[in-house]
Amino acid sequence: MVVDLTQSLALQEALAVLLRDKNHHMDENSEPKNAVFTDAEVDESDVGTAVDYSQRYNDVAYWRIRGREQQLIDSLGGARSDTREPFQTENAVRGVAKDNPWGRRFHDAAAALWGELHPYTGY
């Protein structure tokens, strides 16, 4: 999300998570009520420079967020595309495809800043 650096980043982070969570699950099934499936919350955030989405691959903040997303999915049990049933997360597919040529870069950038939540799971 594009943020306004003159405004509270914490509020903008919370808004970004709420908006993503609202549109994240596109299936027709009701959401799980198990305690494991909680509302989304801010884990980590980063301020990048790519205001133009087409420039995101030139922005290390984008790399870190993508890497962190996949590490979170993996640390919580993996996407259904990896685990089949029984699945541990509502993520139907991985945040970063196993064969994404940028996958290792995303993972390493996130781990360098925030520590490694889960070992790399790409190819």
**pTM for this structure?**
0.83
Query: What are the φ/ψ torsions at residue 20 (nearest 5 degrees)?
Result: -65, -45
In terms of C-beta density within 10 A (0-12 exposed, 13-18 middle, 19 or more buried), how is residue 74 classed? buried
**What pLDDT does 74 receive?**
94
Tell me which of 26-35, 63-72, 105-114 is least confident: 26-35
Residue 47 · residue 3 · CB < 8 Å: yes
Q: What is the dihedral of CA 45, 43, 115, 70, to 10 degrees?
A: -90
Tell me which of 45-49, 84-88, 98-102, 112-116 is least confident: 84-88
Quick: pLDDT tens for 76-91: 889 888 887 777 777 8
> 26-29 — which CB contacts under 8 Å span 24+ positions?
27/92
**Mean of all residue pLDDT scores within the chain:** 87
